[in-house]
A and B are shown apart, each in its own frame.
Chain A
Amino acid sequence: MPPAVTLASAATAGGFLLVLAIILPAAGVLLALAFGRHAERIALLLMPAGFAIAIAILADVWHSQASLVAVMGGWAPPLGIALRADGLSAMMLVTTALVICAVGLFARGDFGMPAGGGEARAPLVFWTMLMGVWSALNAIWLGRDLFNLYVALELLTFSAVPLVCLDGRAETLAAALRYLLFALVGSVLYLLGVALFYGAYGTLDIGLLAGRVRAEPVVWVSAALMTAGLLAKTALFPLHLWLPPAHAGAPAAASAVLSALVVKGSFFLAVRLWFDVLPGLPGVPAAQALGTLGAAAIIFGSVLALRQERLKLLIAYSTIAQIGYLFLLFPLSTGAAAAGIWGSVAWTGGVYQLVSHAIAKAAMFMAAGLIGEALGHDRIAGLGGIGRALPMTIFAFGLGGMSLMGLPPSGGFVAKLMLLTASVTEGQWWWAVVILLGGLLAAAYVFRVLAPALAGADEPLRLCARVSRRREAVVLALAVGALLLGLLPLRPSELLQIGRPAAPTAIMR
């Protein structure tokens, strides 16, 4: 073969794993559409394989202590597109695989194909969209090309929106439509920024761009547009209005995916934009603004969560608050802080929050789903005595809640501790106040659920449906995972440093 066609030089040996991580679920989408009645089986068969691929990538990155790279079709950037797995990507791949597999096991009860062997609407849509979400997220974790990431972002939107209104009720239809409109405007703003970057620097490859960007108007405008678009998709306050009805109205298994993973996709791109594309640009005012919005989200989301009467809405509002924490990593690890060790700690804390919230929130939404199934409603006032009926589920909910509050030894504890320490050490103490206040409010809303649930009922509890022990066990296992995350904090933070852009140096004048 003439070498001219193939420019693959930067690709690493494990590169095919990166391709498979995206392509395997995508192939699942095609298979599920072609052989509709086997959709569930196809999805469940692909899950162990997808999980194994994620683990293999993690192991490869860990052992080689370097990023994995794949160059699509041998066409090196800037003409072609590359995929790259650094420590952060590997961690997100494994988190995603974990949550998706747990949701898959959980959803077998809700979305089994009918016994007659025919194809039914809700199961086919659910399993296919779940594969779509997985493929899109993996493409986002691995993407190195801003336009390729736009396509992945759209893939994510199109798989997520139908999950919101699977039951076809009017409220969920309206919620899905509002979600879609927010998401569409968000991605078109992102695309606008992509166009500007291409027009100024002639490449969309993150690595190449990082070497070419200068502090000039085009960079500010496109970074602002892209960030605004991504915030709308992440539901950061004050662009959060679409989230609670959408996440609370979806079926529990879908809520878990939406709240745990889908909103993280666009957040992750914001992190990539500011830390990988624009490292070292003095974005201090922008970072402080993002931090302020995050702080507002923590307070506002928590207070609203406290005032909800429905369990699923409470959990959805808590997602808004927990998203707020993620944005604290911007003020704490850019600018002057970036160079020091504490900037790095804050960054790690933010990523930790990403992972631990994903796992904890998935467990809590699924727990809420089981509670709703058993009681036939999800009014918080009517939870009395459920703790005795579904002890495993309530325990799992409580464990997830510990992570939200930031109690040791949960993953949330480690994340919030890192953010807290960084903010105190860097002299940005005001964020520490917000973190502590958010923890207290989280404790309040979690106990608002646990208190009636653990108290005895006035009258004997009548359950509408039996809840399978297997599904309870899945939820509990995931919640325990969120807890255990706090016990192994050191190694992952080393992992996260692999392939991280070098601490910003003076690109700037």
Chain B
Amino acid sequence: MSAETLYGLCAAALVGLGLFGSIVDPQPLRKILAFNLLGGGVFLLFGVIARRGAAAGMAADPVPQAMVITGIVVAFSATALAVTLLLRLFETTGQATLRTGAPARPDPDSDRAGS
């Protein structure tokens, strides 16, 4: 087994793990964390593909590597935005939870339309 295959299997497991965590964990913060883990797995897969594409005197194909750099920056922006949203939700309501599945309960006290 080559190193690329090894890391490829590692990436597959990370994707499964991250996907599981981001679906199942009830805490939004840990969903965000699991999403980052999942992202790490996806990027690692790109890295394996890049390494397998070593050619023309290059140790790896630079195109997927560049995509990973772009992807890491996007994932960080997403994390910063999601964490800020979560903290703001916590400041506003005193709790940090998403009651998934519950349809928005009409609140008799607030008569404001969403406009």
Contact = CB atoms under 8 A, between A and B. Distances in A.
A and B, direct touch (CB closer than 8 Å) = yes
B45 A192 contact: yes
A376 B111 contact: yes
Contact of A174 (B48, B63, B89): B89
A248 B112 CA distance: 12
B70 to A, nearest CB: 7
Given A165-B85, A168-B92, A173-B89, A151 B74 contact: yes
B101 A198 contact: no
Contacts of B38: 185, 188
Interface residues of A, number: 59
Nearest to A154: B74
B64 A195 contact: yes
A498 to B, nearest CB: 31
Nearest to B39: A188
Interface in A241-266: 241, 244-245, 248-252, 255
B66 to A, nearest CB: 10
B contacts with A: majority SS: helix
A176 B93 CA distance: 15
Contact of A250 (B81, B82, B114): B114
A346 interface: no
Interface stretch (A31-39, A291-299, A308-316): A308-316
Given A171-B104, A181-B28, A198-B64, A188 B114 contact: no
Given A170-B92, A245-B104, A251-B115, A191 B42 contact: yes
B67 interface: yes
B93 A177 contact: no
Given A181-B35, A198-B64, A199-B52, A110 B42 contact: no
Chain B, interface size category, equals: 35 or more
Given A170-B89, A173-B92, A245-B104, A195 B49 contact: yes
A198 B49 contact: yes
B42 A188 contact: yes
Given A177-B82, A245-B104, A168 B35 contact: no
Interface of B: 15, 19, 22-23, 28, 31-32, 35, 38-39, 42, 45-46, 48-49, 52-53, 63-64, 67, 70-71, 74, 77-78, 81-82, 85-86, 88-89, 92-93, 98-101, 103-104, 106-107, 111-115
Given A158-B78, A188-B35, A198-B63, 16 more contacts: A151-B70, A151-B74, A157-B78, A169-B92, A171-B107, A174-B99, A180-B85, A181-B31, A181-B35, A188-B38, A188-B42, A198-B46, A199-B52, A368-B113, A372-B114, A379-B111
Interface of A: 79, 110, 147, 151, 154, 157-158, 161-162, 165, 167-178, 180-181, 184-185, 188, 191-192, 195-196, 198-199, 202, 241, 244-245, 248-252, 255, 304, 309-313, 368-369, 371-373, 375-379
24 contacts: A157-B78, A162-B81, A171-B104, A171-B107, A173-B92, A174-B98, A176-B85, A177-B86, A181-B22, A181-B31, A181-B35, A185-B23, A188-B39, A191-B71, A195-B49, A198-B49, A199-B45, A199-B49, A249-B114, A251-B115, A369-B115, A371-B113, A372-B115, A377-B112
